Chains A and B, each alone.
Chain A
């Protein structure tokens, strides 16, 4: 498997990033045919969400989030309104593509619907390199018992079979 595209590294205090290309029109991005209320993956077209751009960028290999231009505060998850000053005009910024494991575990039993075949799978909290964010996600690439706190991981956008996108981490050492 070839390496996924590497997201640009965030520089603290950087100016607003270049304008993001608009997401493809909703009709070109297939809506899920699965029952939405039994499916954790978010709907992600512009018809569904004001955060459609997050997923369009993810499809380009870029993990991103929103930042408040007033104080530079990064948010996770991306939002439409700053939780501190309630400003509604937020800017998109790319996040680092590398991180280290802060904590991890594995689901060995009791997986949610649709994830039963994934068992056992590892999950963890990952400190992104150079950004004050600690993201939760799946960790692929190693059996859970080979993972270590402090181990390096890479952000890995991936496509669902219905055209939606999500992200996970891949252990790299």
Chain B
């Protein structure tokens, strides 16, 4: 890590779900929520805006969304304005880009916002948008979307390691339980007991409805500042201490093993090395549980357990609050829903609020200092990781 130090000093997430609101209205709402949550920030101080949006052309028929979002949010960037697109990791890409700009001295105060509107009058159109994340000409005609791909990951994991549907359900039960305490979650205040999860309909066998994150409308935003400006903001800062990213294929034919994600191992090693810590020093992790099987493979790729042991790790509660590492206390993508561009930002908001001790007690990690955020994108062909450290309160 070189350049100026950079921290998140505030953020906000608006309610996720099937929202009676357009893309523009979601952007306006998150702008208002951000400036309410960070009263010491004036809109005219924001010199740069990074907009994480995966498919506004598809979901909202709107391109050139960076200035569009700026106008909705009441921000007039004077230094850097851009959209970041990395499918399901578009939000983390916005944060990473803002971090790079500030570290390089090209920005002092930046906002990273993620907005996605996914629920359309025709959900077949929305599903087509999800399918063109894959190699549209070669995998698309077969009907490749995320559920059948991750279902094959689950099928192979069950075959190679004996992972069970009950172990998958353990991930879903945990993350939905956390989401019950998160008023911005799509599945807020709903109960998903394990036995009920195992009776939900199949979406892509062996994955059932409760194994899959949702098509979600939502937005979230964070403020990033240089080390010189951090002291102006009263809450403990979430310092960015490490980042890592890895991409190794795109067409499904080139996926190699479905059950090992060495790209995540590589990206996490890079991010943890930047922070000078090991995975065992982490106090919480926001992992990309787009499907239950994803979180299980991620436990293994991060080295929280051995290869093939992720299902048992989940069933034994080792990824729960009070276990080895609190994973997805926000409620995860399973519980909160997955508005593509907003997810990575909402995860960072959770880290910031966890550091500040501002989440409900039932999901508050005791006195956290280190947090890791992970997003995969597409068919788990890209992995993006960031490591945060809590700063001292002003």
Decide: B137 and A116 in contact? CB cutoff 8 A: no
Answer yes or no: B22 CB below 8 A from chain A CBs.
no
Decide: B253 and A133 in contact? CB cutoff 8 A: yes
Residues on B lying within 8 angstroms of A by beta carbon are: 122-125, 127-128, 130-132, 135-145, 147-149, 151-152, 155-156, 159, 201-207, 251-255, 258
Q: In the assembly, what is the distance between CA of A108 and CA of B147, in Å?
A: 10
Q: List A contacts of B122 (CB < 8 A).
A: 113
Q: Give the distance to chain B from A160, nearest Cβ to Cβ, in Å.
A: 9
Decide: A77 and B251 in contact? CB cutoff 8 A: yes
Q: List A contacts of B252 (CB < 8 A).
A: 125, 136
Q: List B contacts of A107 (CB < 8 A).
A: 143, 145, 147-148, 204
Q: Give the distance to chain A from B254, nearest Cβ to Cβ, in Å.
A: 7
Given contacts A76-B253, A112-B145, contact A103 B156 (CB under 8 A): yes
Answer yes or no: A168 CB below 8 A from chain B CBs.
yes
With CB as the reference atom, state the residue of chain B lying closest to A42: B137
Residues on A lying within 8 angstroms of B by beta carbon are: 38, 40-42, 76-77, 102-116, 118, 121, 123-125, 133-138, 144-145, 149, 166, 168
Given contacts A77-B253, A116-B124, A123-B143, contact A106 B131 (CB under 8 A): no
- Which of B143, B149, B159, B207 lies in contact with A115, CB distance below 8 A? B143
With A40-B141, A107-B145, A125-B152 already in contact, 12 other A-B pairs whose C-beta atoms are closer than 8 Å: A40-B140, A107-B204, A110-B147, A111-B124, A112-B128, A123-B142, A124-B152, A125-B255, A133-B253, A136-B251, A136-B253, A166-B141
Decide: B203 and A112 in contact? CB cutoff 8 A: no
Q: List B contacts of A38 (CB < 8 A).
A: 125, 128
Closest 7 CB pairs of A and B: A40-B140, A105-B151, A103-B152, A42-B137, A136-B252, A112-B128, A105-B148
Q: In the assembly, what is the distance between CA of A44 and CA of B202, in Å?
A: 36
Decide: A118 and B205 in contact? CB cutoff 8 A: no
Given contacts A76-B253, A111-B143, contact A106 B148 (CB under 8 A): yes
Give the A-B contact count at a CB cut-off of 8 A: 115
Q: 14 interchain pairs (CB within 8 A)?
A: A40-B128, A41-B137, A77-B135, A77-B137, A102-B156, A103-B152, A103-B155, A105-B147, A106-B151, A110-B127, A112-B131, A118-B143, A135-B253, A136-B251
With CB as the reference atom, state the residue of chain B lying closest to A106: B205
Q: Give the distance to chain A from B186, nearest Cβ to Cβ, in Å.
A: 16
Q: List A contacts of B156 (CB < 8 A).
A: 102-103
Q: Give the distance to chain A from B203, nearest Cβ to Cβ, in Å.
A: 5
Given contacts A104-B155, A123-B143, A124-B152, contact A40 B137 (CB under 8 A): yes
Q: List B contacts of A108 (CB < 8 A).
A: 201-205
Decide: A105 and B145 in contact? CB cutoff 8 A: no
- Which of B143, B151, B152 lies in contact with A112, CB distance below 8 A? B143
- Which of A116, A133, A149 lies in contact with B155, CB distance below 8 A? A149
Q: In the assembly, what is the distance between CA of A107 and CA of B159, in Å?
A: 20
Decide: A104 and B152 in contact? CB cutoff 8 A: yes
Q: List B contacts of A77 (CB < 8 A).
A: 135, 137-138, 251, 253
Decide: B127 and A112 in contact? CB cutoff 8 A: yes
Q: In the assembly, what is the distance between CA of A102 and CA of B255, in Å?
A: 12
- Which of A76, A103, A133, A138 lies in contact with B142, CB distance below 8 A? A138
Q: List B contacts of A111 (CB < 8 A).
A: 124, 127, 143
Q: In the assembly, what is the distance between CA of A123 and CA of B131, in Å?
A: 14
Q: In the assembly, what is the distance between CA of A144 and CA of B206, in Å?
A: 11
Q: In the assembly, what is the distance between CA of A103 and CA of B149, in Å?
A: 9
Q: List B contacts of A121 (CB < 8 A).
A: 143
Decide: A123 and B148 in contact? CB cutoff 8 A: yes
Q: In the assembly, what is the distance between CA of A105 and CA of B143, in Å?
A: 11
Q: List B contacts of A110 (CB < 8 A).
A: 123, 127, 130, 145, 147, 203
Q: In the assembly, what is the distance between CA of A8 and CA of B300, in Å?
A: 42
Q: Give the distance to chain A from B223, nearest Cβ to Cβ, in Å.
A: 36
With CB as the reference atom, state the residue of chain B lying closest to A169: B142
Q: In the assembly, what is the distance between CA of A40 and CA of B138, in Å?
A: 8
Q: In the assembly, what is the distance between CA of A116 and CA of B131, in Å?
A: 13
